[in-house]
């Protein structure tokens, strides 16, 4: 469920008409619904009601400071994978004791920033990383709560580029080697083992892989406790999918996911941490673009937009689908046409959809990409020297620009020409 609906023939974000935003900030732009963000966080929090738990929003899905503050004010923890994300979470007012540091390649400098600023735990991904963290913690004279991310060799049945729990993926320590890794970690004077971490992938639409992975985690937890380790937390990752196509069967609900958590690890008495990102932010955002030209090709019609692959890379990178809808609702009964929907970047890969059915679209018409709140703005670039597009937050009948579009002068000012040229 989201809060983007038609009223009197105009697409609205909550109580604000999309054309009003377009007239204020120009196109293209991202717009996020505060009500949807709040609802999706609450649904996840409710799914684990009755269990000791912390919902740690995956900052990589959408790291805008306004989004982080909104969720942090609701009590969300944050799952970060870089020093930059850590500092964003802190800037949004989230205390260190609610921030979990994940990621396969943390540098010593990133570790230092997190340890000096305060951290709930560090999720270790390898033995070399464990030794590096011990070195940094010792130099600072602190003791760090840690988990070890185990790779359970479970196929998440998702896109190969976002699967993280198979043996060939770069993430975590093979679960068969975990007990030895825990023994080595526990021997480090500045590291304190507190739990187990697992994350098998993103955009999962089936609960069976979760059940398989969490069952393995439960077995490992019992073994580690028998080895003398005090396992009090289980970080179970995120990855629950969202419906990108209105016509598709909806993925499992957070409540169903919560039931799997209870069935597989609920008996262990551990605090549960989960790291949803896409499910909280994905359907809470639109990307809105304007048609520049409608071009007749050989046997096809091109809808050329002012948005491009640098603004929303998911279709080019993952062959991802986004529902695309007109901002002004078409008259009932209009015969639909087929369009290849493309951007102006000089790449054939700058294609959002092929042969997509839409009511007739003309130049200057506004269209909206649904389910663009996650992995949209955060993955954008300035390829072709195109400015990053604005982000807007709507809350009821008010809206604000929460990241402005840079001017060309601001873009150019970031470069420097050496004196000798």
Using a pLDDT cut of 90, give the percent of the chain over it. 85
Q: Compute the residue count for the chain.
A: 421
pLDDT at 166 over 60: no
Please tell me the predicted confidence (pLDDT) of residue 157: 54
pLDDT at 89 over 80: yes
- Catalytic entry in 1, 49, 187, 346: 346
Give pTM, 2 decimals: 0.94
Q: 211-270, pLDDT tens digit by residue?
A: 999 999 999 999 999 999 999 999 999 888 887 877 666 788 999 999 999 999 999 999
pLDDT at 42 over 50: yes
Q: 101-130, pLDDT tens digit by residue?
A: 999 999 999 999 999 999 999 999 999 999
Please tell me the predicted confidence (pLDDT) of residue 162: 43
Please tell me the predicted confidence (pLDDT) of residue 243: 78
Task: Let me know if 346 is a catalytic residue.
Answer: yes
**What is the C-alpha to C-alpha distance for residues 61 and 282, in angstroms, rounded to an integer?**
8
Supply the mean pLDDT for the chain: 93
pLDDT at 161 over 70: no
Domains of the chain: 4-31+282-413 (2.40.37.10), 63-276 (3.20.20.10)
């Amino acid at each position: 469920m989201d809060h983007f609906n038609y009223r009197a023939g105009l697409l609205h974000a909550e109580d604000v008409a999309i054309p009003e935003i377009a007239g204020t900030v120009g196109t293209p732009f991202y717009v996020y619904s505060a009500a949807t963000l709040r609802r999706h966080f609450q649904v996840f929090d409710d799914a684990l009601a009755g269990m000791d738990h912390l919902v740690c929003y995956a900052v990589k899905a959408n790291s805008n400071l306004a989004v982080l503050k909104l969720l942090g004010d609701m009590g969300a923890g944050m799952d970060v994978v870089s020093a930059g994300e850590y500092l964003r979470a802190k800037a949004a007012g989230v205390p260190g004791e609610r921030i979990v540091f994940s990621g396969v390649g943390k540098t010593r400098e990133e570790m230092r920033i997190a340890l000096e600023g305060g951290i709930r735990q560090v999720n270790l991904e390898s033995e070399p990383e464990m030794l590096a963290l011990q070195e940094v913690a010792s130099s600072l004279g602190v003791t760090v709560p840690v988990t070890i991310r185990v790779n359970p060799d479970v196929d998440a049945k998702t896109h190969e580029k976002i699967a993280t729990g198979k043996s060939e993926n770069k993430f975590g320590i093979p679960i068969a080697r975990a007990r030895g890794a825990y023994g080595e970690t526990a021997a480090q004077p500045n590291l304190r083992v507190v739990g187990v971490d697992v994350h098998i992938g993103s955009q999962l639409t089936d609960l069976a892989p979760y059940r398989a992975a969490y069952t393995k985690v439960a077995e490992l937890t019992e073994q580690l406790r028998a080895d003398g380790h005090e396992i009090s937390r289980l970080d179970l990752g995120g990855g629950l999918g969202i419906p990108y196509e209105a016509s598709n069967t909806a993925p499992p609900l957070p409540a169903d996911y919560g039931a799997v958590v209870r069935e597989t690890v609920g008996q262990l008495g551990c605090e549960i941490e989960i790291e949803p990102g896409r499910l909280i932010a994905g359907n809470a955002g639109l990307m809105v673009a304007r048609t520049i030209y409608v071009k007749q090709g050989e046997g096809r019609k091109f809808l050329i937009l002012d948005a491009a692959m640098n603004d929303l890379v998911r279709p080019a990178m993952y062959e991802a689908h986004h529902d695309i809808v007109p901002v002004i609702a078409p008259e009932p009964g209009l015969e639909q046409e087929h369009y290849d929907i493309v951007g102006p970047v000089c790449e054939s890969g700058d294609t959002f959809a092929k042969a997509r059915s839409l009511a007739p679209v003309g130049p200057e018409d506004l269209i909206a990409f649904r389910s663009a709140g996650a992995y949209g703005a955060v993955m954008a670039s300035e390829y072709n020297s195109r400015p990053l597009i604005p982000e807007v937050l709507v809350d009821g009948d008010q809206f604000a620009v929460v990241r402005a579009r840079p001017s060309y002068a601001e873009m150019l000012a970031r470069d420097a020409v050496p004196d000798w040229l």
